[in-house]
Amino acid sequence: MKVYLGALIETDQLDILKDHASFSKSHEIVSSPAAAELILVLGASAREPRQLLDHELYKSYPDRCVIYTEEDDYLPLLPTVHTNAQSGLHTRIGRVFNYAHISRNGRHQNRFVGETAVQMPIGTATQKRYLFSFQGGSTSILRKRLFNLKFNRDDVLIENTSAYWHWDNSQPDREARQRRYADTLAASHFVLCPRGAGAGSSRFFEVMAAGVAPVLLSDAYVLTPGPAWDDFLIRVRERDIARLPAILEPHLKGAAERGRLARRAFDEFFAIDREFDRIVDLAARALRHAPPAEEYFQRRQMAMFRQFERKRKARAALRSLALGALRALHLNNPYQMNR
């Protein structure tokens, strides 16, 4: 398939995809959108829909355009390859698919994750210190709940790393922090992958790359088609996170095999040399989605945005009201806020 790559905003995702297109066995990048069978537009902004809908590429070729976006917000104005798509009509009819965050392979890459998977053989009992672990920021109510739980076990590590911002390369002790994160993955039988600000998390695919068994905690997240997820993934309902030790301990004997199969699935579907082809394949499927026809969604684009805005403002108002009530009653906030 002939593919044209465009972008709404300046993003290194464009360079990443162009670079990884060199591994393609099925598709080629063309220099003109007129010559393309598919136009992949990067960097859609859910909060500024006119930036997308008024873009020259979409105005000129609306029936060929698909969005690839890593936004936390989920607003599928066009057929989309997302990282945070939620279950619903758009995913059911194949208009929206999830995929991994390609920006993890850019200038913010944690190179120790892959190195750790190679240097430390998965499944070696003496190297495993944790039944499960999680290190991450306080970016969702689910994560805040997780940080508040007291498992009272030496073999469980739950660490709030909100003071560290992975997407800022100037962070103090960045390399040491990244190495410690990778070492913790390697020392864990299971690694929790709770939803962040969006329904997904780049951690999910880092854990697979490290060859460790992932535990997905996100009720709304829709898995990418292709991998044999049931062979290695354990999915735990968000309401059951307090029961994680009891849920995971019965699977301990098979954790190493799950980790091996997770790495195999990563290599087949999400590795650098597969990335471009997989995204283009999903984008092509999104263009051919099941009914209702795309014209139906085109007519509803601004209504979809207005509904999105109403929900966003309602959430912000509710959050402000709750925090104000806590302050007025001189009560401590039970959840640590984002930094």
Tell me yes or no: is domain 2-99+275-299 CATH 1.10.1740.
no
Asked if the peptide bond before residue 227 counts as cis, ω within 30 degrees of 0, the response is no
Interacting residues of 116 by C-beta distance below 8 A, sequence separation 6+: 182, 183, 185, 186, 210
The ranges assigned to domains in the chain are 2-99+275-299, 109-269
- CA distance linking residue 216 with residue 230, whole number of Å: 12
- One-letter amino acid at 242 equals A
CA nearest to 235, candidates 262, 247, 217, 213:
217
pLDDT attached to residue 49: 83
CA atoms within 13 A on the CB side of 282: 23
pLDDT attached to residue 334: 63
| Through-space distance between the first and last CA atoms of the chain, rounded to whole angstroms | 44
pLDDT attached to residue 136: 92
- CA distance linking residue 58 with residue 49, whole number of Å: 12
2-99+275-299 with 109-269: one CATH topology? yes
- Helix ranges (DSSP H) in the chain: 12-20, 49-53, 56-60, 89-92, 111-119, 141-148, 174-186, 203-209, 244-248, 255-269, 272-287, 294-299, 301-328
Q: What is the pLDDT along the chain (339 residues), one digit of tens a residue?
A: 999 999 988 888 999 999 999 999 899 999 999 999 999 999 876 777 888 999 999 999 999 999 999 999 999 999 999 999 999 999 999 999 999 999 877 666 777 776 444 444 444 444 899 999 999 999 999 999 999 999 999 999 999 988 766 666 677 777 788 888 889 999 999 999 999 999 999 899 999 999 999 999 999 999 999 999 999 999 999 999 999 999 999 999 999 999 999 999 999 999 999 999 999 999 999 999 999 999 999 999 988 888 878 877 777 777 677 667 757 766 666 655 554
pTM given for the model: 0.88
Query: What's the CATH number of domain 109-269, 1.10.357, 2.60.40, 3.40.50, 2.70.98?
Result: 3.40.50
Q: 3-state DSSP call for residue 243?
A: helix
